[in-house]
Amino acid sequence: MPELSFLFSQYGRVVDLLPEMVLILDDENRILDTNKTAADELGVVAQPTRPKYIFDIIPEDERIIFRRVLPFSDQLNFETKFCKRDGSTIDVMGLVRLLRLGQAKYWILFIRDVTEEKRKELDLLRFSNVIHNTINPIQITDADGMMVYVNPGFEKVSGYSSAELIGKNPKILRSGKHSKEFWSEVWRHIISGKVWVGRVENRRKDGNPFFTELVISPIVDSHGAIAGYLGAHRDITEQIILEQQLVRSQRMESIGTLAAGIAHEVGNPLTAISSLVQVIQRTSTDGFSNEKLELINSQVNRIARIIRELVDFSRPSTHVVKPTNINRIVKEALNIVQYGKKVKDITFTLELDEQLPEIAAVPDQIVQVFINILMNAVDSLDGRHGIITVHSRKNEHEVEVTVRDTGKGIEPLALEKIFEPFYTTKTTGQGTGLGLWVSYGIVKSFGGDVFVESIPEQGSIFTVSFPLKGA
Ligand SMILES: Nc1ncnc2c1ncn2[C@@H]1O[C@H](COP(=O)(O)OP(=O)(O)O)[C@@H](O)[C@H]1O
Ligand SMILES: [Mg+2]
DSSP helix/strand/coil, 296: helix
Residue whose CB lies within 8 A of the most ligand 1 atoms, among 436, 443, 457, for a mutation test: 436
Gap between the Cα atoms of 189 and 197, Å rounded = 10
Gap between the Cα atoms of 396 and 202, Å rounded = 33
Q: What are the φ and ψ backbone dihedral angles of 460, each rounded to 5 degrees?
A: -135, 155
**For residues 153 and 136, is the Cβ–Cβ distance under 8 A?**
yes
Gap between the Cα atoms of 81 and 66, Å rounded = 12
Query: What is the structure's pLDDT at 200?
Result: 95
Counting atoms of ligand 1 from 1, which one is nearest the CA of 462? 1
346 pocket-lining for ligand 1 (C-beta < 6 Å):
no
Question: H or E segment at 290?
Answer: helix 287-314
Query: What is the structure's pLDDT at 85?
Result: 84
Gap between the Cα atoms of 8 and 134, Å rounded = 58
Q: What pLDDT digit, counting tens, does each position of 69-106 carry?
A: 777 778 888 899 999 888 899 999 999 999 988 888 88
β-pairing verdict for 104-113 and 89-101: antiparallel
Question: Which domains are delineated in the chain?
Answer: 5-118 (3.30.450.20), 134-235 (3.30.450.20), 241-314 (1.10.287), 318-467 (3.30.565.10)
Ligand 2 centroid, distance to 436 Cα (angstroms): 6
Q: Which residue's CA is the closest to the ligand 1 atom numbered 27?
A: 425
Q: Which stretches in the chain have pLDDT values below 70?
A: 1-3, 248-256, 310-319, 428-429, 469-471
Ligand 1 centroid, distance to 423 Cα (angstroms): 8
Q: Of 90, 116, 75, 121, which Cα lies nearest the Cα of 21?
A: 90
Ligand 2 centroid, distance to 373 Cα (angstroms): 7
Other Cβ atoms within 10 Å of 98 Cβ, number: 14
**pTM of the prediction?**
0.50
Cα dihedral 4, 7, 13, 14 in deg (nearest 10)? -170
Q: What pLDDT digit, counting tens, does each position of 411-425 carry?
A: 998 998 999 888 999
Question: H or E segment at 259?
Answer: helix 237-283
Ligand 2 centroid, distance to 52 Cα (angstroms): 97
Q: Of 335, 464, 465, 461, which Cα lies nearest the Cα of 388?
A: 461
Q: What pLDDT digit, counting tens, does each position of 220-229 carry?
A: 999 999 999 9
Counting atoms of ligand 1 from 1, which one is nearest the CA of 425? 25
**For residues 345 and 386, is the Cβ–Cβ distance under 8 A?**
yes
